[in-house]
A = this chain, B = another copy of it.
């Protein structure tokens, strides 16, 4: 179970942004010709996958890299010229962690505390990445998967980033089809319920999950049935996600438009 946290909100009146002693460093107009203030920008991605672990049930895991200076850290690195942040995130996942495919990648937030990293001032633009559970692990170099509830000490503020990513993921599972990026292309509902359970941290009933997701048009039956498991039981119908693109499926919990 993930505790919800409000993200990046600076609330309630800082009255008088009088920027005492703060040098703006530029004239107040023509934004596009100023070139004095540059800063190091890095991307960091929290990549999640629901994976088998020592326990009976699969668990939500995060991909970490061992970094000799600062311990375990999220994969990522600085951006280069003429590259979007998303492209940089993908590039670093390839080079740093051997990950060649993520089914979904989205911006999380920017972490900009001046002291978040010692030495050079570094702003981190962070991402969430999701890998379907049937994609092989392919851990490369010094990368490794960890249960989200059994993380080692992480470098800098990377633990905050992972926590925020988990909250976001849990939230979106409830009102979007984001699980398409965690699930295999075809699956029995009981397996999908386990994926939801792993990501949310509490058990999800497969019966009701089917009802909710099919009413919303998120999953559709493929018509095929799977093999029955090791200990007998009725062979399960196989389902698939209708989209492979993030969609809001329950837009308004309240205050929906009239008619």
Measured CB to CB, the residues of A under 8 A from B are: 1, 4, 6-19, 22-26, 28-42, 67-70, 73, 76-86, 90-91, 93-96, 99-107, 109-110, 112-114, 117-123, 125, 171, 173-175, 181, 196, 200, 202-204, 209, 212, 244-248, 250-258
Contact of A37 among B78, B85, B246, B256 (CB under 8 A): B78
Residue with the greatest number of chain B CB neighbours at <10 A, chosen from A18, A26, A83, A181? A83
Are A41 and B123 in contact (CB-based, < 8 A)?
yes
Residue with the greatest number of chain B CB neighbours at <10 A, chosen from A1, A10, A83, A257? A10
Nearest residue (CB) in B for A44 is B31
Contact of A254 among B109, B112, B174 (CB under 8 A): B174
The CA-CA distance from A23 to B245 in the complex, in Å, is: 30
Nearest residue (CB) in B for A173 is B255
Are A38 and B40 in contact (CB-based, < 8 A)?
yes
Q: A25-B78, A202-B257 are in contact. Are A120 and B35 (CB under 8 A)?
A: yes
The CA-CA distance from A34 to B41 in the complex, in Å, is: 11
Instruction: Please give the distance in Å from A258's CB to the nearest CB on chain B.
Output: 6
Instruction: Please give the distance in Å from A187's CB to the nearest CB on chain B.
Output: 17
Q: Which residues of B contact A70 (CB under 8 A)?
A: 31-32
Q: Which residues of B contact A181 (CB under 8 A)?
A: 11
Are B83 and A110 in contact (CB-based, < 8 A)?
no
The CA-CA distance from A253 to B175 in the complex, in Å, is: 7
How many chain copies does the complex carry? 2
Are A17 and B84 in contact (CB-based, < 8 A)?
no
Instruction: Please give the distance in Å from A186's CB to the nearest CB on chain B.
Output: 16
Are A114 and B84 in contact (CB-based, < 8 A)?
yes
Are A91 and B255 in contact (CB-based, < 8 A)?
no
Are A80 and B22 in contact (CB-based, < 8 A)?
yes
Instruction: Please give the distance in Å from A129's CB to the nearest CB on chain B.
Output: 9
Q: Which residues of B contact A212 (CB under 8 A)?
A: 254-255
Are B255 and A14 in contact (CB-based, < 8 A)?
no
Q: Which residues of B contact A31 (CB under 8 A)?
A: 42, 67, 69-70, 73, 76-78, 117
Can you list 7 contacts pairing A with B, beta carbon distance less than 8 Å? A11-B103, A16-B94, A16-B100, A35-B120, A107-B109, A110-B110, A174-B251
Q: Which residues of B contact A85 (CB under 8 A)?
A: 110, 112, 123
The CA-CA distance from A13 to B101 in the complex, in Å, is: 5
Are B69 and A30 in contact (CB-based, < 8 A)?
yes
Are A91 and B8 in contact (CB-based, < 8 A)?
no
Instruction: Please give the distance in Å from A183's CB to the nearest CB on chain B.
Output: 13
Contact of A24 among B8, B69, B77 (CB under 8 A): B77
